[in-house]
């Protein structure tokens, strides 16, 4: 009986070692974050596309980039120039291509990607103000509409943002104050998308607590109707 147990034990150990060797030798699948490559790809494509006088342009990060705005708003003059991972300073170099023919309106939604890097609301606001001033310098006839940063929901299962919800609220307040002081239209979307706890309403979000569901975009569409000319 002892020999039987010893034999079984040796066999199990051999199988375990063989399994470990197999796992170590099999090809490993590398998972990469391709958001930067997506940014470069879309940026390169959008430089080939024209924005005409009278067009209505949307700029921002992934929440903007993911939406077919011209269909949602039923307006063929709407152009989407959103790109995932849109940091404000990176967007400065894209303005010439977007503003060259003086579009009639420019809807902006920036800040979340910058805050997500750990930048403070004050630093992000400083970058945003520089961005706005450059827009006014390059295309003074273009109406600028600043949209507030949307809330996030860290209770949803696939949430992976590093942004602090308090920083979003602080940034929005500072951004609104700047807009009002400088005669710029400020569209407060934050309150429309919050639940009772101040988080992104789960009914308007997908499971990552950041991107919007179809219902969320419908809410956004309703808020935009009176602003889009």
pLDDT at 141 over 60: yes
Question: What burial class does residue 29 get, using C-beta atoms within 10 Å of its C-beta: 0-12 exposed, 13-18 middle, 19+ buried?
Answer: exposed
State residue 49's pLDDT score: 66
Q: Is the full-model pTM beyond 0.85?
A: no
pLDDT at 68 over 90: yes
pLDDT at 149 over 70: yes
State residue 19's pLDDT score: 39
Give the span between the Cα atoms of 2 and 127, in whole angstroms.
76
> What is the arithmetic mean of pLDDT over 132-154?
97
Please check whether residue 148 is in contact with residue 190, taking contact to mean a CB–CB distance below 8 angstroms.
yes
Q: Which of 162, 157, 173 is nearest to 205 (CA)?
A: 157
The tokens describing 32, both together, are 């990469």
Give the span between the Cα atoms of 141 and 151, in whole angstroms.
31
> What is the arithmetic mean of pLDDT over 39-54?
67
Q: What angle do CA 118, 158, 196 make, to 5 degrees?
A: 80
State residue 229's pLDDT score: 85
Q: For 99-132, what is each residue's pLDDT tens digit? A: 999 999 999 999 999 999 999 999 999 999 999 9
State residue 180's pLDDT score: 97
Q: Which of 86, 58, 20 is nearest to 228 (CA)?
A: 58
């Amino acid at each position: 009986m002892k020999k039987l147990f010893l034999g079984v034990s040796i066999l199990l150990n051999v199988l375990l070692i063989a399994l470990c060797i197999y796992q170590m030798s099999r090809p490993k699948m590398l998972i990469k974050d391709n958001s930067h490559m997506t940014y470069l790809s879309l940026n390169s494509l959008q430089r080939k596309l024209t924005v005409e006088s009278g067009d209505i342009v949307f700029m921002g990060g992934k929440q903007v980039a993911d939406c077919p705005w011209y269909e949602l708003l039923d307006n063929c003059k709407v152009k989407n120039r959103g790109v995932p991972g849109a940091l404000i300073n990176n967007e400065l170099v894209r303005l010439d291509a977007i503003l060259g023919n003086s579009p009639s309106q420019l809807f902006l939604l920036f800040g979340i990607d910058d805050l997500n890097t750990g930048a403070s609301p004050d630093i992000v606001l400083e970058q945003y103000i520089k961005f706005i001033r450059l827009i006014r310098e390059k295309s003074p006839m273009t109406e600028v509409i600043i949209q507030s940063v949307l809330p996030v929901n860290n209770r949803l299962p696939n949430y992976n943002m590093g942004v602090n919800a308090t920083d979003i609220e602080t940034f929005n307040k500072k951004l609104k104050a700047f807009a009002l002081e400088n005669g710029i239209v400020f569209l407060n979307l934050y309150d429309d998308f919050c639940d009772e706890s101040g988080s992104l309403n789960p009914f308007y979000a997908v499971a990552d607590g950041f991107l919007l569901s179809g219902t969320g975009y419908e809410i956004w569409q309703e808020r935009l109707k009176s602003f889009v000319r």
